Structure 1
Amino acid sequence: MKALEKREQALKRQLEQYPPLESRDNPPLQYFGYLSGRHPVSPTNDTMEAWLQLSFPGKWTTSVDGIALVPAYYPAFSPEGNYGFPKRFKIDVFSHQEPNLPVTVVDWTTADFPDPGLHPVFFSFPQSDVQSVRITVTKGERQADSQFFALDEWMVFQNGNNIAPPAYQRLEASDSYNEAPYWKLPYLTDRKLQVGRNLHTVHPVPDFIQYYDEQTIRDHPPEIEIDLGAQHNIGRVELYPAKVPDMPIPEFAFPLKYHIELRRALNENPIVQSAVIEETLPSRMRWHPLSAVRARFLRLTLHALPRHNDRPVFAMAEIRVIGREGDQQENLAAGKTIRMTRLPEDAGTAPALLVDGFGNGREIIQEHDHIEQLAERKKVAEALAQTQHRLLIARATRQSFYWTIGIGGGIVLLFSLILWIAYQRTIRQRALYELRQQIAADLHDDISSNLGTISMIAKRLQQDPPPSLLQEKLNEIGHIAQESFLSIKEIIWHMDSDVVHLAEMFGHIEKTARSILAGSQVICEFPDNVAEAAVPAKTRRNIMLLVKEALYNCAKYAKAEHMRIHADLRHCVLVLSMKDDGCGFDPACAQVANSDTGRGLANMERRARLLGAELDIFSEPGKGTEVTLSMPIK
């Protein structure tokens, strides 16, 4: 897409270098061109035989090097393209040496010619001496059971100059449909083109626009006088209308009545004086042939002007005086001295703008270059249209791709969410199952064991033991009952919440220690900066069971008077120590290892491994016992 967008911008810049195609922007109101008659079409024969021929007088000795066909534009029947451009045709030239032997320079009789749209079609070929040129059409535009063809303009170029329009050349056709001012055979070479004036690249140059009062126009018609500097052979005068801002019709401000004079000197009578010319319909360019006379001065007199904002207005882009010397034609008025009478003192624009070579903000170029560039413009316009079409498809594909990715991603996200919910549900069910299993194990290992012990002691007491043994066993039953009570409270506490803070756990350790060691003095030293440190349920349970095991061992065997519990949290490591002043023991003694205390020590080491902690036990007979647990805390 980036490559297509880059090519699109490059083609747009290239297209701006060609003359504009004005047909659709400013459709013609007259002079559509030439329209052939209707030719029948049968199921077995769809060919037609129609021709146009342009003949030059006498023995024509100058070469012809190019021919252009301008498609007709009929807005009512072809709003989007040309009207009736021939589909199959050929162009032949005839020389004066062999007037009956045609030389075909263009042949499109075996295949349909590509639709030119509204762009002119330009054919160049090696220079040929000609006396006449003929276009033969073998297939036209079909409508119902007939076919026809139409052209706006036929141009024949000699050294870059269009030599088709002069009145002394003979234009013939096999048939013609005539309906002035729209269709007529002479309109085929009248230089009034639907593609617009021969304007080229944009130049910000204003045109001559002037308002007059009614009396001036009535009593003293304004005159425009151009001094060509010397006498020249003058062939024609071209007048280019200008557009007045805020005026809907571009050529509205062109004079309604005017006449043209040619003089050899200012004090002489005119050698050519046209009748008063009336223009009732707007046109993009007026062309006036003047019979190739020699003159130096041109005078244009304005007799009637259109009104705008209740005032007569005159607007013109350019006046061109085309002279001919041999085979060469040139604009003799370019940059020459120009004078205008009855010009108001507050005139906003200078008369020199009428001969500056620009019109409507564009440079005026030669007819040959204008038509050839319009023909080249079609190739660039087609490449731009193709690029824009591909870009449109690419954007639609990208949009579809995004939708596909979005919908696919949404489906994947939805399934992922469903799987995540199912996974979380499975985890919760597994955690619940593990919790039930843990509760069952705790009840079996702790409470059930304690109840079994109490049952065994009760059976011994039923055998009439001595009073001393009775008191000892009753104390043991009370101790076991207290231990069971604390175990049940411990299970309930573990079930209440998944996570507790260290401060809460320290409080629970202190309460448990004072309950188990009711006959001893318990001293607890816990840090104050652990309010935000959290302990998961599983970690908390193993810590509490390890601590309880140590406390029960102290209560059962140590006969300690003091228990000191100290905790510290350094660099995310919890160090918890429990030190008593009891009788102590030798950890390496086999008798101890095979006792209940030995099993208790093994359980403590197993829980330390589950916590990923280090457990250190220091004890000597008669010197008490110290249990230290070191474990990481997140």
Structure 2
Amino acid sequence: MMALLKTLMMGWITSCPTIVLFFFITAVAIPAEPTPPRPWTTTTLEKKLIAIDGELQLLAHPRLLSGVGPIGYRSEAHDTAGHHEWVEVSFDDEKTINEIILVPSLYNTPDSTVQSDGFPEEFTIWAINDAKGTKRLLASFTTEDQVLPRKSPLSVPCKQAIATGVRLETTSLSQRAWDNRYVLQFSELLVFCGQENVALNSTVSYSSSDNSPEGARNPQFLVDGVVPYVMDANTGTRSTAFYTNVPTDPTSYLDSDTCHIDINLGQPTLINGVGLHATDVSDNVPQAHPNKFGLPRRLRILGANTVDFTDAQPLTEYRLQTEFDAGPILGLQFPPVECQFIRLIILEPDQVLGDTLGCIGLAEIECLSEGKNVAVSSEVTTNLKPELIARRDRLPAITDGNNYYGAILPTRVWLRQLARRHDLETQRPIIRAALTTAYQGQRATLESLFWLSCLLAAIIVAIVFAQRFLKQRTIYRTREQIAADLHDELGANLHAISLCSDLANTKIHDPEQLSPLFQRIRDLAHRSGTAAKSCVNLLESEGLYEGLEADIKRISERLLNDIDYNVHITGEENLTSLDPKTQIGVALFFKECLANVIRHSGATHVSTHLEAKPRTIVLTVSDNGSGIQTENNETAKTSPTSLLRRARLLRGTVVTTDVPEGGTRVTLRTKIRPHWF
């Protein structure tokens, strides 16, 4: 059994590196507790960031409008945010709506950026149907939605609804910049049915209004179609606008005394609106002209199905009265009319300061059919004599679908892209920060794995060296054990045989006493042979050792046959927990002590005391022999090498002293290791 345990122990030591490596890999690969999957892994964050950057390259830029123009609507100012304000846009009849876009009023911050001013923090949007007397909630926003800060429009998609108006009600206002008072303020409120802004030029009602004295703020500016941006679609081809002077001499025109521009749609088409894009002003800062430069101050639009306009019918007429009545894009709506030819009659051209001649400049004329431009690439003509046209080659640019910055997008698409860009640019720093954190975590993990790998390598190297050391120590201790066992067991037996042989020589003429001596010599020889066969492991010998108490008494009886002795044992109950190997070692130590007494001391009396405590065992052997010849008999002396070796094998200590009355005392102390250990 002990041999099996020893074999298993050596096998464990041999496989220890593999076991350590297995547990290390298991500890690293499998957490102690299952962790839920992270919603944003590093790969997901990288893909998300790439997708955001790719989409941003395709979205319109929020290029800001400059110069003089309408700012929008603003309510009265309040000292607290919780004041209730509302604004309502009423249509001329029922409309089907599916999206609302809110355009903020903007201000320049002290750090040279632009932010919304007076945009509400918490508000609701309702669809009003006066015909049915219903009020349906379309959207609701709180501070948790984090719509602020922003400089771009807010797109509010909603379920399709039939309404006669849209109402916005606030529950929490935000502060305006210049005095930190709370107001409700917008640049534009657009309501879409498809691509058409059905709120354009509709009636506006409100809870309160703070109209500016200069006329830049007015509730009606909330639906005038003017937004604080210049269309920069970030796609398409850059195009230079058409521009020319408008002479007052009637002979300058081919067929009438008034300048007009005609567009041939190619076939009769149902249209219900026209969009005029002013000439793209200089990209210098500051600019030389206002944003609406080139737009006629007064114009009339006709529609016809014949090229000579004999069946012409008026579509709409427009007149610029103040500087705040138009922006770079002028949107005009009218009832749907089917026509093939559109004529723009310039009743009063724009005027350049310091110039006596009028002028007209247009980047694009859109003929709209429910918000869609059906005039792209259409033929454009004018009655102005060709030699008087300043930019004759740019006349086709009026319908090429591009402006100075690229493609001209439908208003809904353009503003939705601006809103989408805001959302992505808000998300991007968050994704970037999360990705940076993830990279830092990966770097920390890699560093930890590196140092853990170094630690594991060091442990493996240490285990290899420890394994070699333990193997060498095991070999040495085995050799030492065998040498000690042979010396202590066989040496004592051979010395006893020698003594019995000498005694037999003296009794050679007395057969009755000689026969027991021969039997004793035979028993000692047999025991020595058995011990020699089992010298590698005395535990495997059967009948050689019967227990420490019995062995001490048996050894005393055999070796001290002619010497007076006594044996005193205390704590016998503690000997049962003493492992057999320790019991044999103590017995061999005792046998070596008696052999030394017989060989060297000449003692006539030997006293043995074995004290077994719960945790220690003390063996004391005293004799009245010649003792150790030293200068000071009271001083502890160095024990014989054989006893030191046996004590070391027992992991104990041995002390040899002289007895004052004469003789020697040897004391062995060792700890009790339980049998199971």
Calculate the TM-score normalised by the size of structure 2.
0.49
CA RMSD of aligned residues (A): 4.0
CA distance 1:115–1:213, change in 2 (3 Å): closer
User: Which position in structure 2 is the counterpart of 1:228?
Assistant: 265
The answer to whether the 8 Å contact 1:63/1:130 transfers is yes
2:345 corresponds to which letter in structure 1? T
Alignment of 1:194-593 (within 5 A): 194-197=228-231, 199-212=232-245, 220=253, 222-243=259-280, 249=287, 251=291, 253-255=293-295, 257-264=297-304, 265=306, 266-268=309-311, 270-272=313-315, 274=317, 277=320, 280=323, 283-302=327-346, 303-307=348-352, 314-323=360-369, 328-345=370-387, 347=391, 349-386=393-430
Alpha-carbon shift at residue 262 of structure 1 (Å):
0.7
Aligned partners of 1:242, 1:387: CA distance in 2, in Å?
A: 40
Which deviates further from its counterpart, 107-116 or 330-339? 107-116
CA distance 1:309–1:382, change in 2 (3 Å): farther
Aligned partners of 2:339, 2:84: CA distance in 1, in Å?
A: 46
Alpha-carbon shift at residue 123 of structure 1 (Å):
1.4
User: Which position in structure 2 is the counterpart of 1:14?
Assistant: 55
Residues 198-218 of structure 1: CA deviation (Å, up to 9, x unaligned): x52322342333444866699
* DSSP 3-state at the match of 1:349: helix
Residues 434-493 of structure 1: CA deviation (Å, up to 9, x unaligned): xxxxxxxxxxxxxxxxxxxxxxxxxxxxxxxxxxxxxxxxxxxxxxxxxxxxxxxxxxxx
The answer to whether the 8 Å contact 2:69/2:323 transfers is no
The answer to whether the 8 Å contact 1:34/1:176 transfers is yes
User: Which position in structure 1 is the counterpart of 2:498?
Assistant: none
**What number of residue pairs does the alignment pair up?**
379
CA distance 1:228–1:214, change in 2 (3 Å): closer
User: Which position in structure 2 is the counterpart of 1:81?
Assistant: 115
* DSSP 3-state at the match of 2:415: helix
Which deviates further from its counterpart, 136-145 or 78-87? 136-145
CA distance 1:314–1:171, change in 2 (3 Å): closer
CA distance 1:217–1:333, change in 2 (3 Å): farther
User: Which position in structure 2 is the counterpart of 1:164?
Assistant: 199
Aligned: 1:186 with 2:220: yes
The answer to whether the 8 Å contact 1:92/1:135 transfers is yes
2:55 corresponds to which letter in structure 1? Q
Aligned partners of 2:142, 2:363: CA distance in 1, in Å?
A: 42
Alpha-carbon shift at residue 392 of structure 1 (Å):
11
1:19 corresponds to which letter in structure 2? A
The answer to whether the 8 Å contact 2:122/2:142 transfers is yes
CA distance 1:255–1:66, change in 2 (3 Å): closer
User: Which position in structure 1 is the counterpart of 2:568?
Assistant: none
Alpha-carbon shift at residue 88 of structure 1 (Å):
0.9
Q: Percent identity?
A: 19
2:366 corresponds to which letter in structure 1? R
User: Which position in structure 2 is the counterpart of 1:32?
Assistant: 71
Alpha-carbon shift at residue 352 of structure 1 (Å):
1.9
Alpha-carbon shift at residue 388 of structure 1 (Å):
7.4
Alpha-carbon shift at residue 15 of structure 1 (Å):
1.8
The answer to whether the 8 Å contact 2:242/2:397 transfers is no
The answer to whether the 8 Å contact 1:207/1:354 transfers is no
Aligned partners of 2:341, 2:281: CA distance in 1, in Å?
A: 28
The answer to whether the 8 Å contact 1:240/1:319 transfers is yes
* DSSP 3-state at the match of 1:382: helix
Return the match for 2:124 from 63, 85, 90. Answer: 90
Aligned partners of 1:165, 1:252: CA distance in 2, in Å?
A: 18
Alpha-carbon shift at residue 351 of structure 1 (Å):
1.9
Residues 555-588 of structure 1: CA deviation (Å, up to 9, x unaligned): xxxxxxxxxxxxxxxxxxxxxxxxxxxxxxxxxx
Calculate the TM-score normalised by the size of structure 1.
0.52
The answer to whether the 8 Å contact 1:256/1:280 transfers is no
Alpha-carbon shift at residue 119 of structure 1 (Å):
1.0
The answer to whether the 8 Å contact 1:63/1:127 transfers is yes
* DSSP 3-state at the match of 2:70: coil
CA distance 1:204–1:255, change in 2 (3 Å): same
Aligned: 1:105 with 2:138: yes
* DSSP 3-state at the match of 2:377: coil
* DSSP 3-state at the match of 1:378: helix
Aligned: 1:141 with 2:177: no
Aligned: 1:47 with 2:90: no
CA distance 1:389–1:216, change in 2 (3 Å): farther
The answer to whether the 8 Å contact 1:67/1:156 transfers is yes
Aligned partners of 2:168, 2:394: CA distance in 1, in Å?
A: 46
Aligned: 1:127 with 2:183: no
CA distance 1:116–1:212, change in 2 (3 Å): same
User: Which position in structure 1 is the counterpart of 2:104?
Assistant: 71
CA distance 1:21–1:293, change in 2 (3 Å): same
2:128 corresponds to which letter in structure 1? F
1:21 corresponds to which letter in structure 2? P
User: Which position in structure 2 is the counterpart of 1:467?
Assistant: none
Alpha-carbon shift at residue 108 of structure 1 (Å):
2.2
Alpha-carbon shift at residue 239 of structure 1 (Å):
0.7
* DSSP 3-state at the match of 2:59: coil
Aligned partners of 1:39, 1:129: CA distance in 2, in Å?
A: 34
* DSSP 3-state at the match of 1:334: coil
CA distance 1:162–1:276, change in 2 (3 Å): closer
Alpha-carbon shift at residue 293 of structure 1 (Å):
4.3
Aligned partners of 1:245, 1:56: CA distance in 2, in Å?
A: 37
Which deviates further from its counterpart, 199-208 or 115-124? 199-208
Alpha-carbon shift at residue 152 of structure 1 (Å):
0.9
Aligned partners of 1:83, 1:34: CA distance in 2, in Å?
A: 11
Structure 1: segments with no counterpart, 5+ residues = 398-634
1:93 corresponds to which letter in structure 2? A
CA distance 1:238–1:305, change in 2 (3 Å): same
The answer to whether the 8 Å contact 2:188/2:224 transfers is yes
Aligned partners of 2:96, 2:316: CA distance in 1, in Å?
A: 33
2:275 corresponds to which letter in structure 1? E
User: Which position in structure 2 is the counterpart of 1:605?
Assistant: none
Alpha-carbon shift at residue 268 of structure 1 (Å):
4.4
